[in-house]
Amino acid sequence: MGRYLGWAGKRIRRAVAAEPARPDYGAFISGALYWVAGAVVVTTLACWLQFTLLGLADRHPYFGIPVAVILLGLALKPLLAWRMLKTEVQAVEEALARSLDAGRERLAYLVSRDVTHLSECEVRESAIESLAENLNDSVVAPVFWFALLGLPGAALYRFANTADAMWGYPGMRGGRNWQWAGKWAARAEDVLSWVPARITAALLISLGRYVDWGSLRTEAARTPSPNSGWPMAAMALRLGVRLRKPGVYALNEDARPPAQSDTARAIGMGDLVVLSSTALAAAPLAAMHWLASVIP
- CA 46 – CA 7 distance, rounded (Å): 21
Q: Residue 171: pLDDT above 80?
A: no
Higher pLDDT, 203 or 72: 203
pLDDT of residue 73: 84
Tell me the pTM: 0.89
Question: Of 3-12, 80-89, 126-135, 173-182, which range is least confident?
Answer: 173-182
- Looking at per-residue pLDDT, the higher value among 173 and 5 belongs to 5
Q: Does residue 21 surpass a pLDDT of 90?
A: no
Indicate the residue type of 121. C
Q: What is the percent of the chain with per-residue pLDDT over 70, rounded to a whole number?
A: 89
Residue type, 249: Y
pLDDT digits (tens, 9 = 90+) for 263-293: 999 999 999 999 998 888 777 666 656 665 5
Q: Tell me what pLDDT residue 159 has.
A: 97
How far apart are the C-alpha atoms of 17 and 178, rounded to whole Å? Answer: 9
The span from the CA of 246 to the CA of 249, in Å, is: 7
d(CA 25, CA 272): 44
Give the domain ranges of the chain.
Answer: 2-15+23-167+174-294
Q: Please give the backbone phi and psi of residue 152, each rounded to the nearest 5 degrees, phi first.
A: -60, -35
Residue 154 to residue 169: CA distance in whole angstroms: 22
Pairing of strands 243-245, 176-177: unpaired
Per-residue pLDDT of 69-111, as tens digits, reads: 778 888 899 999 999 999 999 999 999 999 999 999 999 998 8
The pLDDT assigned to 122 comes to 94
Interatomic CA distance for residues 237 and 272, integer angstroms? 16
Residue type, 109: Y
